[in-house]
Amino acid sequence: MRRAVRRRSLSAQVLVIQSAVLLVTFLAGLAMVVWYQEGQLDHSYEQRALSVAESVAVAPGLVQAVMRGDPHGVVQVIASRVWHATGASFVVVTNREGIRYSHPNPALIGKPISSDPEPASSEPYRTGQPWVGIQDGTLGRTARGKVPLFGPGHALAGEVSVGIPVTRLQDNLVGEIPTIAGSACGALGLGALLSLLFTRRLKRQTLGLELDAITGLFQEREAMLHGIREGVLGLDTHNRVRLANDEARSMLGLPPDHLGRPLTDLLPRDRLTDVILGRVEGTDQVVLLGHRVVIANRMPVHTERGGHLGWVVTFHDRTETEGLMRELDAVLGLTEALRAQSHEFSNRLHTLVGLVELGRYEEAISFVTAVSDARNGLAQQLMGSLGDPMVVALLLAKTSVALERGVTLRAEQGQGLQGQLTEVSDVLTVLGNLIDNAIDAAGAGPGEPWVEVAFAASGTDLLLRVSDSGPGVPDADRETIFMDGWSTKASRSGARRGLGLALVRQVVERRGGFIEIGRRQGAVFSVLLPGCVRTDAGVPA
């Protein structure tokens, strides 16, 4: 039975549910109306009985006859005249002891009243207060109004009790059953028609899918969104977040209450926000999120009729892939440098062999010594100026790469750094990327290509300057060159270019420094890295 109910179509379920709701509402409303109307009807009967009793109590000669014991039956005459005129069930007049002086049944005259129940508070001949209510007596269920009789000096002489037969509202409803049934059927028919129209509209909005299909699609969507390793972010037409899977929340650092909030309230105004909001157009946009390289794509979402619902933005973490590709670029460059050095060493070896064959031993020794001293002298010079072996090793490697590409790389001579470098990884990131760009730029410039690197310390701050002989940076591009993915060069390995300067800016901003672009012959990049020099005790800043 349950399976049959579950397999019912959406329209059938809605029709059954709404019909049940209409039926229950109708029955509950009918019961409330009956209860309310019955109370109102009882109240009107009680007030009517009270009014008749009050009119009898002021009848001329009634009080005097009661106080004398009604020896001539005057009270019965007055009462019978009233109940025949008003249609009351009875008009009972008693003395102060509750003895009847009038009653529709003459056999009960002279006997005490016998209402059931008979609380003392319901009899005015005892309390001296009027009373109304529904009671069951010798003449059946009646709505009763009772008023006290007062003699001279406001002495309590008895009471007048008038009863009007009560007709139950439920009895009147029996004759109205056809009308009520017709109204109920009409309401159910109208409800069924409205339910049918509603379900048709609902099926159009759900693309004709039933409830079990919608549930299955939702479960599949949740499993897919939270199971993939790519970040997925959904925005509506007002750029409010409507969907974000676990990977997107982790990448973007979204708070728990991100759903329904504008994206500009959740993320800072940077390149990432511009890519998500479509201010930066194009596919496979490169974005730096901390130390991660992310590829972002933004696609519109449309309905079957062409209506615009919003956008879906996907984020693919390419950190490892891009790192491998950049390492491959470096390996390719190193391979070319080794090949060039191999040719250079081959030429020097041939020269050395020729000198030996000619018997010019002293010239051969001088030639070897000069070549060795030139290489060692550069390393000693850099160690004396910088003191950090990792930075020196980087400069030596970059010197080899520059020589292979026909570019002269030189370090500016000065007093050297008065202190020890700290945070060497940040220094290597900034210096390596600036030198790589400078070598590329110098190779594209006019005249003799060269790159110059200068170091200086100001207290605990490190100043770096990298100059080149290239064409320089146009004024219009001095901000855009630091954006993720901006580049004018192609990669030999297929790695995405345009990340070097973006990483440089990221390191500089994280350390609270600054970077400036000037121009001498080519471009001049000046960088301040705070807190990268540890001065010795006693050395002035």
Helices (runs of H) and strands (runs of E) counted in the chain: 15, 16
115 DSSP 8-state letter? -
pLDDT computed for residue 537 by the predictor: 45
pLDDT computed for residue 494 by the predictor: 44
Task: Round to whole Å and give the CA distance between 528 and 513.
Answer: 5
Give the pair of three-digit tokens for residue 348.
Answer: 């020097």
pLDDT in tens, 258-283: 888 888 888 888 777 888 888 888 78
Q: For residue 1, what pLDDT band results from cuts at 50, 70 and 90?
A: very low
- Site of tokens 């069924």: 192
Strands (E), 151-198: 156-165
Task: Round to whole Å and give the CA distance between 202 and 11.
Answer: 9
pLDDT computed for residue 159 by the predictor: 92
Q: Of the ranges 71-80, 260-269, 307-316, 490-499, which one carries the lowest mean pLDDT score?
A: 490-499
Q: For residue 495, what pLDDT band results from cuts at 50, 70 and 90?
A: very low
pLDDT in tens, 79-89: 888 888 888 88
The architecture (CATH level 2) of 228-317 comes to 2-Layer Sandwich (3.30)
355 in Cβ contact with 369 (< 8 Å): no
pLDDT computed for residue 169 by the predictor: 46
430 in Cβ contact with 527 (< 8 Å): yes
Task: Round to whole Å and give the CA distance between 365 and 538.
Answer: 46
- Cα-based angle 54, 130, 148 (whole degrees, multiple of 5): 65
Average pLDDT over residues 510-533: 84
Residue 218's φ and ψ, nearest 5 degrees, are -65, -45
Cβ neighbour number for residue 62 with a 10 Å cutoff:
23
Sequence-separated (6 or more) residues with CB below 8 Å from residue 24: none
Average pLDDT over residues 485-509: 62
Average pLDDT over residues 411-415: 62
pLDDT at 251 over 70: yes
Which of 281, 251, 282 is closest to 267 using CA atoms? 251
Query: At the top level of CATH, which class does the domain 322-534 belong to?
Result: alpha beta
pLDDT computed for residue 122 by the predictor: 78
Q: Report the share of the chain in percent with pLDDT over 70.
A: 73
- Please provide the average confidence, as pLDDT, over all residues in the chain: 76
pTM of the predicted model as reported, rounded to 2 decimal places: 0.45
CATH number of 11-172: 3.30.450.20
Task: Round to whole Å and give the CA distance between 313 and 143.
Answer: 78
**Most confident among 45-59, 177-191, 318-332 (mean pLDDT):** 45-59
- Site of tokens 């984020």: 315
Same CATH fold assignment for domains 11-172 and 322-534: no
Q: Look at residue 116 and give its three-state secondary structure.
A: strand
pLDDT at 527 over 50: yes
276 in Cβ contact with 313 (< 8 Å): yes
Average pLDDT over residues 207-211: 66
Q: What is the DSSP string of 123-155?
A: -HHHH-S-EEEEEEETTEEEEEEEEEEE-GGG-
| Domain ranges, ordered by start, for the chain | 11-172, 228-317, 322-534
Q: Of the ranges 66-70, 416-420, 449-453, which one carries the lowest mean pLDDT score?
A: 416-420
**Residue 244 amino acid letter:** A
pLDDT computed for residue 93 by the predictor: 92
pLDDT in tens, 442-490: 877 777 888 888 888 877 888 888 888 888 887 777 677 776 555 555 4
pLDDT at 152 over 50: yes
Average pLDDT over residues 106-114: 84
Task: Round to whole Å and give the CA distance between 231 and 253.
Answer: 12
pLDDT computed for residue 148 by the predictor: 92
Could you give the maximum distance between any two Cα atoms of the chain, in Å?
179
